Structure 1
Amino acid sequence: MDKKLRLRELINAPNSFMLPGAYDSMSACLIEELGFQAIYATGAGISNAQLGWADVGLTSMKEVLDIVARMTDVTNIPIIADLDTGFGNAINVIRSVREFERAGVAGIQIEDQISPKKCGHFNNKSVISKEEMIYKIHAAADARQDENLVIVARTDVLAVNGIEDAIDRAKAYKEAGADVLFIEAPTSIEQMKTITSSLKHIPQLINLVEGAKTPLITLDEAHELGYQIVLCANTVLRASIQGIKNALNILNFECSQ
């Protein structure tokens, strides 16, 4: 089955699904090998792993595209690519969507932070206007060659202006053409309940980051709350880092003997 159609099947299915983040081709292969149904090409993870920098908007469109294209080459399940802010304004979004669609992704995610952006769980974020983000979503929808390419619209305004503005923006982004809504970094279960109850019958994504702002919940709990997609964007990278540290500590111990 076409990867875009498969991703839409997952989004519209009665059961929620886990979306692990991959930061290179090997991690993408392992996610598929372990039986997951889709992959998230994490912008934060690519920045961390490829540049050695935090997720502060330093990666270029071409740098991320090259990594994502390698992921699609070696996997057979849908990939949602993190396009950050679309790498610029609405004109840049048009090019970005066309390039990533040609690279074989099944979905793209864009957010309403200013550029350069920050990780969604960092403090002191800033957002563009709702109207500018609507232009970006329209641009993404018009630019895709296949109408089945999934558009995930993320808003970071919760931490800036509060939950009412976040819900208002999410509704506007859906109206503009987004297929999945992603209100980043709710800080309590009550906020999650408010978000999902206000946006019923619209597929929604929750991003779980270990040690960050959003309470960690299980897949079943997310489903009960009304989330269709549970994103764990950097869990794989964090585990890899710990594994590398463990291996190096063993080598260091051996060398000291």
Structure 2
Amino acid sequence: MLSTSVSPSEKRTALRAGLASGTLQRFPGAFTPLTAPLIQQLGFEGVYISGAVMSAELGLPDIGLTTLSEVAERGRQISRMTDLPTLIDADTGFGEAMNLARAVHELEDAGVSGLHLEDQVNPKRCGHLDGKEVVSQDLAMQRIAAAVAARRDSDLVIMARTDIRGVQGMAAAIDRAKALEAAGADAIFPEAMATLEEFAAIRAAVQVPILANMTEFGKSALFTHQQLQDVGVNIAIHPVSLLRIAMGAIERELGLLSETGTLDGAVDRMQTRARLYELNDYAAYNAFDEGVFNFEVPSAASMEGTTHA
């Protein structure tokens, strides 16, 4: 009730153990706090918190317009709803070294298990769009070094995302991954890999875990979890999938309402009231209320004869 009983420290330990397990860690993106317990109940290993989704929910494009406060608050809202580790998108760190250090502290306090920082130039672009620019290798390494130096919990995972594959090619991506590992990154997020062979090449280049971004309509094919594990990927995220599924359904059913004047024909496709109450643990809140408010206020008659010191 209210929040998970698993501490941020325990969840960070679990994330590190999962990344070292040899089993692919599957992290669907939670587009609302309510989807986090659903991800947990369906047996996934963790929850991803997407910057693209946060931007979309605010009606903004994914170009770095969200603020640190907005991102940290969303991280807190989602992390409190699940026993699973959470990995959050910290974009380019909301500034350079000192701003980035503050971002790490804010996200630590929000209870996330890990965060990833990218090497794009501000303002950033969605990683699967053309026209991106990346910073120099020195600056990319400085960002990761600053984040590693700033964290207070050594188990917080600092992941380095590189977008250089779509700008300078695969050889540059391998070189950048090695440099980011040398700067202290706990894991590498190579964005917009085109083939399984490219993921395998990154795997061969670094010793730390690597991530695959399985976003729809992007540069990467939607490889299966087994295919990704077979080439050594440690974690797969599905960042915007649940938002896309939900928005597709919302648009279809709103069209039905506009055409027919009723949603009676859509009820069978809706989540039931009972299932909603299960996800938000309504029974536990009700039981808490009953436990607190089951006393009787003493009447005046029962108080007669009592004395006060």
Q: Settle same-fold status: TM greater than 0.5.
A: yes
Which position in structure 1 is the counterpart of 2:56? 48
Q: So what's the TM-score if we normalise by structure 2? A: 0.79
Cross-structure match for 1:124? 131
CA distance in 2, matches of 1:227, 1:190: 11
Q: Does 1:181 align with 2:188?
A: yes
Find the partner of 2:16 among 8, 13, 20: 8
Segments of structure 2 that go 5 or more residues without pairing to the other structure are 1-5, 263-309
Match in the other structure for 1:34? 42
SS at match of 1:22: coil
Contact 2:177 2:205 in 1 (8 A): no
Q: Distance in 1 between matches of 2:256 and 2:38?
A: 24
Contact 1:23–1:237 (Cα < 8 Å) also in 2: yes
C-alpha separation between the residues in 1 aligned to 2:62 and 2:230? 31
CA RMSD for the aligned pairs? 1.5
> Which one-letter code corresponds to 1:204 in the other structure?
I
Partner of 2:231: 225
Structure 1 unaligned segments of length 5 or more: list them: none
Determine whether 1:69 maps to 2:76.
Answer: yes
Rg (Cα) greater in structure: 2
What's the offset of the Cα at 1:57? 1.2
Pick 1 or 2: higher relative contact order, CA cutoff 8 A, min separation 6. Answer: 1
- Deviation, 1:250, is 2.3
Once residues 124 and 198 of structure 2 are traced to their aligned partners in structure 1, the CA distance between those partners, rounded to angstroms, is 23
3-state SS in 1 of match to 2:62: coil
Say which of 152, 160, 163 aligns to 2:167: 160
Which residue in the other structure is 2:210 paired with?
Answer: 204
Structure 1 stretches (4+) deviating beyond 4 angstroms? none
Opposite residue 179 of structure 1, the aligned amino acid is D
Tell me which residue corresponds to 2:222.
Answer: 216
Deviation at 1:52, TM superposition (A): 1.1
Does 1:250 pair with 2:248?
no
Partner SS for 2:55: helix
* Native 8 Å contact 1:24 1:68 kept in 2: no
Whole-Å Cα distance in 2 between the matches of residues 92 and 86 of structure 1?
A: 7
Task: Work out the percentage of aligned pairs sharing the same amino acid.
Answer: 39
For 1:118-137, what per-residue CA distance to the aligned partner results, in whole angstroms no more than 9, with x for missing partners? 11001100011111111111
Please state how far the C-alpha of 1:28 moved relative to its aligned partner.
2.1
Kept after mapping to 1: 8 A contact 2:24/2:225: yes
Q: Deviations over 1:153-192 (max 9, x none)?
A: 0000111111111111111111111111111001223322
- Aligned pair count reads 255
* Deviations, residues 167-226 of structure 1 (Å, cap 9, x unaligned): 111111111111111110012233223222333x42100101112110111000000111
Cα distance in 1 for partners of 2:202, 2:146 equals: 26
Contact 1:187 1:215 in 2 (8 A): yes
TM-score in terms of structure 1 length:
0.95
Contact 1:87 1:115 in 2 (8 A): no
2:104 maps to 1:104: no
SS for the counterpart of 1:132 is helix
- Is 1:60 the counterpart of 2:54? The answer is no
Cα shift at 1:54: 2.1
Q: Distance in 1 between matches of 2:230 and 2:83?
A: 29
Residue 233 of structure 2 corresponds to residue 238 of structure 1: no
Matched-pair contact (CA < 8 Å) for 2:196–2:228: no
State the Cα deviation string for residues 66-123 of structure 1 (Å, max 9, x = none). Answer: 1111112222211111100011111111000000001111101100001121110011
Matched, 1:21 2:29: yes
CA distance in 1, matches of 2:25, 2:11: 16
